[in-house]
Amino acid sequence: MNNVVKSSLLSSLLCEFNEAVHSDIVNQLCRKKCTDFTRKRNMNFYSLIYYFIFRNKKTTNSELTWFYSSICEFEKRISKQALNKAVRKMNPNVFIYLIHIFSKIYYSSQLPKDYRGYYLIAEDGTYVEIPYNVYNAYDFQFCLGKHVHDIFDVKKIQSKAGGLYDVMNGLFVDFSMKPAPYSETPLAFEHLYRTQKIFEGKKVIYLADRYYGSAEIISHLEYLNYNYIIRGKKYFYKKQVALMKSDDEWINVEIDKKWLKRFRFSNEAIQIREEKPVIRIRVIKKIFKYINQKGEECKEELIYFTNLDSQQFSTEEILQLYSMRWDIEVSYKTLKTTLELERFISEDGDAARNCVYGKVLFHNIAGIIRKELNKKISRDTTDGKQYVTNITQLQEMVYETNFLYSIINGKKTQIKQKIENIVKMINKIKVPVRPNRHYKRWGRVIVNPPSYRFRLDGRNNPKVKSFKHVLITVAP
């Protein structure tokens, strides 16, 4: 499929998403009261949605100036007080709906990429810091600990957030924000239930870290006919794992009635285990070597659980597929650093949710473009090196080339032209992938310490410490 067709498909997708934003369903969902967003105002419901998606300045006033200038309605610019009044009317649930709609539109197009016919979806959670006030402390709650005994000990308010992320296509298929004590396991089940129709009839490989290897999650994935690759904890199925004679073989785990009582989130998982009490899991072991902060060489045994056939997927391929899960970690880093996920316009809890969901939607828009550019880069590269799109520069181009005006007015031809212009700039926004990027970065011996704090690219030089009469780099 050539670049012209790709840009046309992307522009059609964004125009269809714009139609959904302007729809009556969204107008109803965004209201907290039936009287909200019923009058014609300078900041109507769809303008406010796009305002949250395309926020990119340091202050609210500069954001309002940029927003109304971008949509060529500067004379309608409202004050910061009027914005706060409109923000308090916005129901955050509308953004969850829009994230789902964006995903449905995307997967119904010809754009999605797969790995040997499989969609690779990764689950992971994170914490998002919320503005501090008493109302948010009750709303988002807090985790009791050594230094926190009651609400008066709370110094920082956080929300447990989590997303189901397509690593091949660069978008969050689902995203949620819950109170801080909320567990990642029920959050994962919510995402699996809500996205079930999107992936119905499709082949899926579910990628997850150590906190998702429970028998209930694996049983629910069997019910959905999903394949999975999950990194396991050392005590998961330890009796069966201890009997392994090689580093890659299948184990049988019997779920008895006592174990089944601990299944709390999925009736389907309970039913499938009642009918078939034995889970068959392929276990892969790998020795990971690294240098600790003391400069000592250490070894750690990593365990992975999967149900992919050993005849079709080798041990090395399973490990390679799991390493692709790292893209969701990169996305969280991009959201928190480049997109400033935790910079809010109000202390109100719902306003904070709207800010976060809006950033996720913008990440999805830029993410699907990034994956298309990466595919073109890998296809056109002839020097044997690996390159990827600089996500920070790409996001800046989406902001500065005024995608907002074209999308909010549904101008398909303009969107297509802007995407093609970005493709022409692809060689100026690509960056080389550093070799051995997943191997040790710290514990390296250097001859001389850096004499200044920043390198030429503005980044911090690595910290160093003295060890056995030499200087060794340490993690920041």
Residues 59-83: tens digit of each pLDDT: 999 999 999 999 999 999 999 999 9
pTM above 0.85, yes or no: yes
Residue where a domain stops, chosen among 282, 316, 332: 332
Per-residue buried b or exposed e for 407-433, using 16+ beta carbons within 10 Å of the residue's own CB: bbebbbebbbebbbebbeebeebbeee
Same domain, 128 and 168: yes
What the block records as the tokens of 127 is: 């914490």
Do the beta carbons of residue 128 and residue 187 sit within 8 Å? no
Same domain, 249 and 293: yes
Instruction: Please give the backbone phi and psi of residue 382, each rounded to the nearest 5 degrees, phi first.
Output: -120, -5
CATH number at residue 194: 3.90.350
Same domain, 393 and 370: yes
What the block records as the tokens of 111 is: 């754009």
- Answer yes or no: is 30 within a domain: yes
Tokens 């200044």 sit on residue:
452
- Answer yes or no: is 354 within a domain: no
What's the number of domains the chain is made of? 3
d(CA 362, CA 388): 19
Same domain, 384 and 241: no
Tokens 């959905």 sit on residue:
224
What the block records as the tokens of 41 is: 């105002």
Range of the domain at 88: 3-93+359-432
- Answer yes or no: is 426 within a domain: yes
CA atoms within a 13 Å half-sphere pointing along the CA-CB vector of 113 = 18
In this prediction, residue 230 carries a pLDDT of: 96
Same domain, 267 and 146: yes
- Answer yes or no: is 275 within a domain: yes
Tokens 């689950």 sit on residue:
123
Same domain, 185 and 310: yes
In this prediction, residue 437 carries a pLDDT of: 52
Give the bridge partners for 294, in sequence order: none
Render 234-255 in DSSP notation, one character per residue.
Answer: TTTTHHHHHT-SSSEEEEEEE-
Same domain, 125 and 70: no
Same domain, 405 and 458: no
- Answer yes or no: is 99 within a domain: no
DSSP state of 52: H
302 SS3 class: strand
In this prediction, residue 459 carries a pLDDT of: 61
Same domain, 116 and 157: yes
Q: What is the pLDDT along the chain (476 residues), one digit of tens a residue?
A: 566 558 899 999 999 999 999 999 999 999 999 999 888 888 999 999 999 999 999 899 999 999 999 999 999 999 999 999 999 999 999 999 999 999 999 999 999 999 999 999 999 999 999 999 889 999 998 888 778 787 878 888 999 999 999 999 999 999 999 999 999 999 999 999 999 999 999 999 999 998 899 999 999 999 999 999 999 988 899 899 999 999 999 999 999 999 999 999 999 999 999 999 999 999 999 988 777 766 678 888 899 999 999 999 999 999 999 999 999 999 999 999 899 999 999 999 999 999 999 999 999 999 999 999 999 998 887 777 888 899 999 999 999 888 999 999 999 999 999 999 999 998 888 888 766 554 455 677 777 777 666 665 556 677 888 877 788 887 76
What the block records as the tokens of 181 is: 């004590």
- Answer yes or no: is 79 within a domain: yes
In this prediction, residue 438 carries a pLDDT of: 46
- Answer yes or no: is 100 within a domain: no
d(CA 175, CA 160): 11
Same domain, 306 and 363: no
Do the beta carbons of residue 391 and residue 334 sit within 8 Å? yes
- Answer yes or no: is 34 within a domain: yes
DSSP state of 78: P
Same domain, 218 and 147: yes
Render 163-231 in DSSP notation, one character per residue.
Answer: EEEETTTTEEEEEEEEETT--HHHHHHHHHHHTTTTTTTSEEEEEE-GGG--HHHHHHHHHTT-EEEEE
Same domain, 426 and 458: no
